């Protein structure tokens, strides 16, 4: 079980308010991603849930039991750190066994559990090695192994993939998602990478300056961002934001159109522009277009689209996919 409830959780460091007050409900078995730019308080929020930081005020409960003042060990949670935080003086086996030893389990059942976890994570050949002798991906798996043997109520991941190279990150992303489907345990995952957020989450919590900007499923956030911040943060490449005359015509201060919602033509369309940089990826083509009177716009076309620097193109937004925002940056529905 892993229901987690945050009730008006506040955190200040000295006179700096990092989290001004957050209410959040995380259901059992959910994969929740906290996403936001660096310094937005997402890691602090995770550490508050873990018990590694004390709350300034507010309440945290897990499965209906208040844990606000309980030490990390009593909360029944497991955490995977960005730096893996493996014990360098212990073998892989002892790293994974450590939480079980702390729980004073008998040797036979520790051995059984550690070997089963190692089997799941393909670590069996490395059990006698020290963390220093492993690659980044293997270390990450040891860290996950150490977390799963405790059978925690929830897993907390603090940017676990940011030290890995791009290819490995993709593989590990998949492994963590599979692990979640297999274990069906609540997972809270902190990242600044919106691709990780979109691909892994059941529910995304977008944070900015310690405040929750929006909570929703990846596609909810993609389809109807509540404000300019979420609109700019979710989706890659970023949403094009246009203000001025074109926005006023739609009764908005700013309008937003995603690169994939601009139809591209070399003959006719609504907005005329000149191609600045063309990125041909084969599967997609990204064009950075200087649109007359609108500024720089990014456009995505499916497959190959044979235009180059200096060519003239026409862009037409899909009308139902245009997002409108008022002067305060809030979405107009």
Residue 103 vs 332, nearer CB to other proteins: 103
Structural contact between residues 93 and 126, judged by C-beta atoms closer than 8 angstroms: no
| Shortest spacing between CB 151 and other proteins, in angstroms | 12
Beta strands in the chain (DSSP E): 4-13, 16-26, 31-35, 57-62, 65-66, 77-80, 154-158, 186-191, 203-208, 211-216, 240-243, 254-257, 262-265, 271-280, 284-291, 295-302, 312-317, 323-325
| Shortest spacing between CB 150 and other proteins, in angstroms | 7
| Shortest spacing between CB 72 and other proteins, in angstroms | 5
Taking the CA of residue 325 as centre, how many other CA atoms within 13 Å lie in the half-sphere pointing to its CB? 23
| Shortest spacing between CB 321 and other proteins, in angstroms | 43
98 binds other proteins (CB under 8 A): yes
Over the window 136 to 175, marking each residue x when it contacts other proteins by CB under 8 A and - when it does not, the resulting string is: ----------x---x-------------------------
According to CB under 8 A, which one of 87, 184, 251, 281 is a site residue for other proteins?
A: 87
Residue 72 vs 329, nearer CB to other proteins: 72
Residue 36 vs 131, nearer CB to other proteins: 131
Distances (CA, A) of 98 to 75, 103, 168: 17, 9, 26
Q: Which two tokens stand for residue 281?
A: 């990826």
Q: Is 230 helix (H, G, I), strand (E, B) or coil?
A: helix
Over the window 8 to 47, marking each residue x when it contacts other proteins by CB under 8 A and - when it does not, the resulting string is: ----------------------------------------
Distance CA 264, CA 261 (A): 9
Over the window 57 to 86, marking each residue x when it contacts other proteins by CB under 8 A and - when it does not, the resulting string is: --------------xxx---xxx-xxx-xx
Number of residues that bind other proteins (CB under 8 A): 22
Instruction: Give one DSSP letter per residue of 235-268, joined into a string.
Output: SSSPPEEEESHHHHTTT-SEEEE-GGGEEEESS-
Q: Which residues bind other proteins (CB under 8 A)?
A: 50, 52, 71-73, 77-79, 81-83, 85-89, 98-99, 102-103, 146, 150
């Amino acid at each position: 079980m892993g229901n987690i409830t945050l009730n008006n959780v506040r955190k200040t460091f000295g006179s700096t308010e990092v989290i001004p007050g957050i209410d959040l409900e995380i259901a059992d078995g959910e994969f929740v991603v906290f996403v936001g730019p660096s310094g937005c308080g997402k890691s602090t929020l995770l550490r508050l849930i873990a018990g590694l930081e004390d709350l300034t005020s507010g309440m945290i409960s897990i499965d209906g039991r208040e844990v606000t003042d309980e030490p990390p060990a009593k909360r029944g949670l497991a955490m995977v750190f960005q730096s893996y935080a493996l014990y360098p003086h212990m073998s892989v086996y002892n790293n994974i066994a450590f939480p079980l030893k702390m729980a004073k389990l008998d040797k036979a059942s520790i051995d059984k559990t550690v070997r089963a976890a190692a089997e799941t994570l393909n670590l069996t050949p490395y059990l006698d090695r020290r963390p220093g002798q492993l690659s980044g991906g293997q270390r990450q798996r040891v860290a996950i192994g150490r977390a799963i043997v405790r059978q925690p109520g929830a897993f907390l991941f603090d940017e676990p993939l940011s030290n890995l190279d791009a290819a490995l990150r993709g593989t590990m992303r998949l492994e963590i998602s599979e692990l979640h489907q297999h274990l069906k345990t609540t997972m809270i995952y902190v990242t600044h990478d919106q691709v990780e957020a979109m691909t892994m989450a059941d529910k995304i919590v977008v944070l900015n300056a310690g405040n929750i900007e929006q909570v929703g499923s990846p596609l909810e956030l993609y389809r109807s961002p509540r404000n300019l911040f979420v609109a700019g943060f979710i989706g890659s490449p970023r949403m094009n934001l246009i203000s001025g005359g074109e926005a006023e015509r739609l009764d908005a201060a700013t309008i937003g159109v995603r690169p994939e919602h601009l139809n591209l033509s070399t003959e006719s369309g609504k907005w005329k522009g000149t191609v600045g940089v063309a990125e041909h990826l084969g599967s997609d083509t990204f064009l950075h277009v200087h649109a007359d009177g609108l500024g720089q716009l990014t456009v995505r076309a499916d497959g190959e689209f044979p235009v180059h620097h200096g060519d003239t193109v026409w862009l037409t937004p899909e009308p139902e996919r245009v997002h409108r925002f008022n002067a305060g940056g809030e979405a107009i529905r």
